[in-house]
Amino acid sequence: MQLNETVHEPINWSVLLAALLVVLLLAGCDRGQQSQPPPVPKVSTVTVQTQKIMLTTELPGRTSAFRVAEIRPQVSGLIQKRLFTEGSDVKAGQVLYQIDPAPFQAVFDNALAALARAEANLPAIRLRAERYGELLPDKAVSRQNYDDAAAALKQALAEIEYWKAQVKTARINLGYCRVVAPISGRIGRSSVTDGAIVTAYQPMALATIQQLDPIYVDVPRSTAELLRLKSRLEDGRLNHDGTNQNKVKLILEDGTAYPLEGTLQFSDVTVDPTTGSVILRVLFPNPEGVLLPGMFVRAVIREGVNEQAILVPQQGVSRDRKGNPFALIVSADGKVEQRQLTLDRAIGDKWLVSAGLAPGDRVIVEGMQRVRPGGAVKVVPFEECGTKPAAPENTARPTAESK
């Protein structure tokens, strides 16, 4: 009978001790790291400063012609010739249509002949009346004969005046056969062709002339904005800019800026009950004909100058769960504070703050995700991050005030 023998290898105590030493060293390093305080987070800030800015409002509007003349005939007749090119520029007094003048020439000639006949009868009637007047004191003629002669003279004079008026009317109607342009401008398409019959003062216009230089831009503005602007001016938060107050800039449909400035003419006094707005009318020069009637544009209207405006970058403003805006501020002792803000409007890439900040406050604009109110932070100037401050005057887009 044979027994199985088990062979035991000798334990390597040196390897075991080395592994245990490594484990002890790693545990000591972990305890040393846990005992060190966490690093202070770095944030970028901007220091709030007041500045002078021009507040503007961008509003939609539409262009309309400075003058519009609908061409209608003033006499009835046959159109002999159209004397203009559709879509061209015409001058005031230029002949546009020629109506057949033959019947009106005949009426004019008839009136002239009747006037000449009346004037030819006048000398004999005047002499008879004068002769009877001389014989009346001597009782050579009766009083009745003298009265008849005097009445005939007055009738002859009245008839002459009547035919003079008829000649004048016939001459006017004959002139109306030449349909002329009442204003200078660009004429559209013609609604009639040669040979068409037209009637005096017909409802349908023969053509339409529109004066495009200068041109109007009609801008609707809500009465709520007007009342808010009035309140700001009365409170002293805004000041008028003198002669530049009525200057208006224009942005075209494709987003490009119109090179010429317009002038605010007036604000309508009637409120549209369907929109709750009034119309502001602005006059723009249009020498190149870039602006056409009916175009959709955006007008940049100046409201006034804010002498103590506070602007902060939009990235430095956050909103809570209720949508209220707030900013994180670094206090004098390096702690983070939260401030509720009231925003007026966006100006470029910044917010115009009407309440919640004061000059000298340091607003955190970068690194907000790593900090909490009450925590300590290390401040790094925002300019060192490569961001340039925005220009003091930008196109302002009004927004609803947030509390």
Sketch the domain layout of the chain as residue ranges.
Answer: 42-53+307-402, 56-65+211-306, 74-99+178-204, 102-175
Q: What is the pTM of this model?
A: 0.67
Q: What is the pLDDT of residues 204-220, one digit of tens each?
A: 999 999 999 999 999 88
CATH architecture of 56-65+211-306: Beta Barrel (2.40)
Q: What is the CATH number of domain 102-175?
A: 1.10.287
Q: What is the CATH number of domain 42-53+307-402?
A: 2.40.420.20
- Domain 74-99+178-204 fold: OB fold (Dihydrolipoamide Acetyltransferase, E2P) (2.40.50)
pLDDT of residue 232: 67
Asked if residue 390 has pLDDT above 80, the reply is no
Q: What is the pLDDT of residues 89-124, one digit of tens each?
A: 999 999 999 999 999 999 999 999 999 999 999 999
Instruction: Give the 3-state secondary structure of residue 217.
Output: strand
Residues ≥6 apart with Cβ < 8 Å to 99: 73, 75, 77, 78, 79, 80, 176, 177, 178, 179, 198
Q: What is the pLDDT of residues 160-173, one digit of tens each?
A: 999 999 999 999 99
Please, is 163 exposed, middle or buried when counting C-beta atoms within 10 Å of its C-beta (0-12, 13-18, 19+)?
buried
Residues ≥6 apart with Cβ < 8 Å to 165: none
Average pLDDT along the chain: 82
74-99+178-204 shares the fold of 42-53+307-402: no
